[in-house]
Amino acid sequence: MKHIDSLLHVRGASVFVDDLQLPDNCLFGAVAVSAMPHGRIISLDVSSARSVPGVRRIITAEDIPGENQIGNIILDEPLLAVNTVHYTGEPVALVLAESMDAARLAASLVETAIEELPPVFDPRTAFDLGMLIAPPRTFCAGNTDSAWGMCDLVVEGRADSGGQEHLYLECQASVALPMENGCVRICSSTQGPTFVQKVAARVLGIPMHRVEVDVGRLGGAFGGKEDQATPWAVMAALGTHLTGRPVKVVLDRKSDMAWTGKRHPYSSDFRLGLSAEGDMIAWEVTYYQNGGAASDLSTAILERTLFHCTNAYMIPNVRATGICCRTNLPPNTAFRGFGAPQAMFVMETAIHMAATRMGLEPSVIQERNLLRRGDRFPCGMEYEGDEIRRSWERAVRLSPERKDGEESCTGHISRGRYLMPVCFGISFTNTSLNQASALVHVYTDGSVGVSTGAVEMGQGVNTKIAQAAAMTLGIDVSLIKVETTNTTRAANTSPTAASTGADMNGNATRIACSEILGRLLAFAVNRLGAGPGVAVVMSGGEVLVDGRGTGLKWRELVEEAYLRRISLSAQAHYATPGIHFDTATEKGRPFAYHVAGTAVTDVSLDCLRGIWRVDSVTIVHDAGKSINPLVDRGQIEGGLLQGIGWMTMEELRYSDSGRLLTDSLATYKVPDIYSTPEEITIEFLPPRGDNAGIYNSKAVGEPPFMYGIGTYFALMEALQAFRPFERGHYTAPLSNERLLMLLEGLGTG
């Protein structure tokens, strides 16, 4: 089955926030921001801005009726700056005007006099200055102190990975509409409708039930709209609240890139101890996370880094410390993988360094140490699967054969291969977020409407929810409509994040649908006069008794049930079972299950020019029993490409004043069709046994991102085949510039 939005998308008929029909009296909001990374606000002069024709109102912090606070986990972020600014791009005022052009012009004329304070952009510097967002956390297993003595080799080094722009196609967007009696309705491009509702209520100083948030679909998000759609939506709501008029706030691309947070850059120190045979014995790592100017989701992201500090490997002695550092960059935020890619990059760096030192192929070390069923992660959870080793073995067999005796470096073209195993935990690391709900209505003509907390952002969650409903009800999927995500139909929802959207909302949908079906079938038993002990099911839209057709069709049954005053609606709640975590001991079972897979990446590097291509990527991925292989394949391909971009070309550069220089696609290079691997082979690992996802499928959103890490190390392999070297410091992205420096034996990282 295709993605249910595919026809709309290719026809340009899908509706996004920017496409919504606006009432005639709509105002347009533009944001004035700080041009300094750190400083005291001396004065805010809005007189020139106010004189722009069409400007109706300029809102600053003083106008906020409720709390000027948009923080999530830690309350440390104002909606509009007061007294101090902490990053270039921090909102200081909201200008409302009759047109977007007038609003943007006026916003650029807001004059903020700032007395500059010294900025800090580097997390290690921030750490030295004691600028932490939260106390450091450490995950331990075994005892590293006593383990070093057992090691035949210890490698030490540093690994730095860069940030990443989300580059969702649709920029941040929201429209707020005034409703009767001081209520407000917000249409937002957010992954977290409840968070928008909660923060809007807090800022406006009204109860949550007066704020309705509605989400149709998003033009991509990737984590960038988990927390950071909120300020713009709340600004629109604030404008509406203060003027009584509809307000639209939409960012243009450059502002969106410059002002919003990114994937967290990390700088990490590590020490890996191994036996002479390549068994990993001890692993110590310290992650300096660049959190930016406010906490946002940084602490949760760092927690996931710690959970994934050993990736897919069994290491008996571990000490991993995460430090969440406050800097003067825009608050960094959720991004596909949520701290796990950063952890896995450090792990692979250490393995690569050890392999180089030992004169081994990295795969020799990797394979020896892959997790086996029953092994424990540092958090204490057991690895309950066998997919890591099975995917590894299958990927090795499936990958293109490398001809015996073929030199890996012929002339100036050097080839490199790297195997990248990935093991990713599914569930929000914050256990309480692992809940979802669904509201299902069957209408008297047999058509069905499903509302859940899941947000469609292109990933296909609505398709999977429609499938889950159809599978449960035993009717055709064309009868199912998935409604907008709305806080009046699905309350207290978790953001659609952590790859859990389809699992949790699909399960809530399944439960609600089976409740309705149960009522209908009980009625059918009566209606057909079927005796006790017979199996009555709905299948293909018809009631079957003991597997035989009865001629009683879905629509007829629904109509009759209605006349008998049987409820055709149900609401259901789903809470992921069996998960818990104790932050006092840093032990527990945080994840419902793990998703694993292996990618084999082959690259060719032109050692004169420093340019390269990915010849092939062969992926064996565990999607459980996929309910939609086409959607899952799309996620795997997209994740891979996004991961390759993060590792090899996407580089953020800032001016001395913390202004993003790479604020357009002319200066920020993302993968395009020319950087796509010549061949991508994706095979789904045949599932064994049951999975905790929806209908035995598994979550798919984030894990494939980390296959892209393989491209970095395949390039390293190709480099070393041309020019053998050892380095103690690896840096990503491995841009063409950096590659050329390495080829010349220059540069760091």
Out of 304, 441, 621, 698, the only residue in the binding site for ligand LUZ (CB under 6 A) is 304
Contacts of 459 (CB under 8 A, 6+ apart): 501, 631, 635, 701
Question: Using CB distances below 5 to 8 A depending on partner kind, what does residue 335 bind out of ligand MOS, ligand LUZ, none?
Answer: ligand MOS
Strand bridging mode 679-684 / 448-452: unpaired
Residue 581, H or E segment: strand 580-582
Provide, rounded to whole angstroms, the least separation between the CB of residue 445 and ligand MOS: 37
Provide, rounded to whole angstroms, the least separation between the CB of residue 332 and ligand MOS: 12
Closer to ligand LUZ by Cβ: residue 426 or 599: 426
Question: Is 341 within 8 Å of 706 (Cβ atoms)?
Answer: yes
Provide, rounded to whole angstroms, the least separation between the CB of residue 658 and ligand MOS: 24
Residue with the two structure tokens 């509406």: 240
Secondary structure (3-state) at 42: strand
Q: Which of 77, 650, 651, 702 is catalytic?
A: 702
Question: Using CB distances below 5 to 8 A depending on partner kind, what does residue 191 bind out of ligand MOS, ligand LUZ, none?
Answer: ligand MOS
Can residue 232 be called a binding residue for ligand LUZ (CB under 6 A)? no
DSSP bridge pairs for 269:
158, 286
Closer to ligand MOS by Cβ: residue 37 or 643: 643
Structure token pair of residue 678: 């010549």
The span from the CA of 134 to the CA of 72, in Å, is 14
Provide, rounded to whole angstroms, the least separation between the CB of residue 301 and ligand MOS: 8
Question: Is 482 within 8 Å of 465 (Cβ atoms)?
Answer: yes
Contacts of 458 (CB under 8 A, 6+ apart): 5, 217, 218, 219, 220, 221
Out of 80, 211, 297, 660, the only residue in the binding site for ligand LUZ (CB under 6 A) is 297
Question: Is 244 within 8 Å of 56 (Cβ atoms)?
Answer: no
Question: Using CB distances below 5 to 8 A depending on partner kind, what does residue 730 bind out of ligand MOS, ligand LUZ, none?
Answer: none
Closer to ligand MOS by Cβ: residue 220 or 223: 223
Question: Is 372 within 8 Å of 315 (Cβ atoms)?
Answer: no
Can residue 498 be called a binding residue for ligand LUZ (CB under 6 A)? yes
Closer to ligand LUZ by Cβ: residue 304 or 394: 304
Residues 338-357 within binding reach of ligand LUZ (CB under 6 A): 338
Provide, rounded to whole angstroms, the least separation between the CB of residue 333 and ligand MOS: 8
Site string for ligand LUZ, 165-204 (x = CB under 6 A): ----------------------------------------
b/e for 601-612, b at 16 or more Cβ within 10 A? bbbbbbbeebeb
Secondary structure (3-state) at 602: strand
Closer to ligand LUZ by Cβ: residue 95 or 579: 579
Provide, rounded to whole angstroms, the least separation between the CB of residue 748 and ligand LUZ: 31
Question: Using CB distances below 5 to 8 A depending on partner kind, what does residue 441 bind out of ligand LUZ, ligand MOS, none?
Answer: none
In 3D, which of 641, 640, 624, 740 has the Cα closest to residue 689? Answer: 624
Determine if the peptide bond prior to 733 is cis (ω within 30°).
Answer: yes
Cα-based distances in Å from 641 to 72, 214, 464, 706? 30, 31, 23, 10
Closer to ligand LUZ by Cβ: residue 223 or 278: 223
Can residue 497 be called a binding residue for ligand LUZ (CB under 6 A)? yes
Question: Using CB distances below 5 to 8 A depending on partner kind, what does residue 347 bind out of ligand MOS, ligand LUZ, none?
Answer: none
Stretch that binds ligand LUZ, among 3-11, 353-361, 427-435, 718-726 (CB under 6 A): 427-435
Stretch that binds ligand LUZ, among 27-35, 124-132, 205-213, 425-433 (CB under 6 A): 425-433
Contacts of 227 (CB under 8 A, 6+ apart): 72, 192, 195, 296, 297, 333, 334, 495
Residues lying near ligand MOS in the complex (CB under 6 A) are found at 191, 223, 226, 334-336, 338, 497-498, 702
Provide, rounded to whole angstroms, the least separation between the CB of residue 257 and ligand LUZ: 21
Q: Note if 67 is an active site residue.
A: no
Can residue 429 be called a binding residue for ligand LUZ (CB under 6 A)? yes
Structure token pair of residue 602: 């082959």
Can residue 139 be called a binding residue for ligand LUZ (CB under 6 A)? no
Can residue 646 be called a binding residue for ligand LUZ (CB under 6 A)? no
Question: Using CB distances below 5 to 8 A depending on partner kind, what does residue 217 bind out of ligand MOS, ligand LUZ, none?
Answer: none
Residue whose beta carbon is closest to ligand MOS: 223
Closer to ligand LUZ by Cβ: residue 70 or 614: 70
In 3D, which of 191, 161, 348 has the Cα closest to residue 264? Answer: 161
Provide, rounded to whole angstroms, the least separation between the CB of residue 330 and ligand LUZ: 18
Provide, rounded to whole angstroms, the least separation between the CB of residue 597 and ligand MOS: 18
Closer to ligand LUZ by Cβ: residue 223 or 261: 223
Amino acid occupying residue 58:
I
Residues 305-344 within binding reach of ligand LUZ (CB under 6 A): 334, 338
Structure token pair of residue 693: 């996802």
Q: 461-464: long-range contacts at Cβ-Cβ below 8 A with a sequence spacing of 24 or more?
A: 461/496, 461/501, 461/502, 461/505, 462/4, 462/5, 462/217, 463/1, 463/2, 463/3, 463/4, 463/5, 463/628, 463/631, 464/502, 464/506, 464/627, 464/628, 464/631, 464/694, 464/697
Structure token pair of residue 386: 């066998």
Structure token pair of residue 493: 């929802």
Question: Using CB distances below 5 to 8 A depending on partner kind, what does residue 717 bind out of ligand MOS, ligand LUZ, none?
Answer: none
Secondary structure (3-state) at 32: strand
Active centre residues (catalytic) = 702
Contact set with ligand LUZ (CB under 6 A): 223, 226, 297, 300, 304, 334, 338, 428-430, 433, 497-498
